[in-house]
Amino acid sequence: MTKYETMYILRPELEEEAYDALVEKFKGIIEGEKGEVTNVNRMGRRKLAYEVDKKFREGYYVLFHYTGEANVTNELERNFRISDDVIRYLIVKEEQ
């Protein structure tokens, strides 16, 4: 199993319940692909370093640490791309 770190930024205007639902959805995707989430760090709303898509100046940051095979990151990335609530994401393979 490979260790991964994923940070994603959600739209800032969502309600707290929507943030909870999205975090659980993405966590469920990892677990559904036989991955194991080891840490979830909800960093909250923060200012972005630069304006994204000419309308977002801040976002809701979430950081996942998890283990799994390559198919876990493929499915997670697919869901990030089709979700309108995800502004940006970054998936990094950690050194072992």
Please state the domain count of the chain.
Answer: 1
Q: Are 42 and 59 in contact (CB under 8 A)?
A: no
> Domain holding 33: CATH number?
3.30.70.60
pLDDT the model gives residue 68? 92
Reading the block at residue 45, the tokens are 């709303």
Q: Is residue 75 part of a domain?
A: yes
Q: What's the alpha-carbon Rg for the chain, to the nearest Å?
A: 13
Q: pLDDT tens digits, residue range 84-94? A: 999 999 999 98
> Does pTM top 0.75 for this prediction?
yes
Q: Is residue 96 part of a domain?
A: no
Reading the block at residue 29, the tokens are 């995707």
- Sheet order of strands, 86-93 included: 36-52, 56-68, 2-10, 86-93
Reading the block at residue 51, the tokens are 């304006």
Q: Are 57 and 13 in contact (CB under 8 A)?
A: no
Q: Is residue 1 part of a domain?
A: no
Q: 17: domain range? A: 12-60+68-87
Q: Is residue 53 part of a domain?
A: yes
Q: Is residue 6 part of a domain?
A: no
pLDDT the model gives residue 18? 94
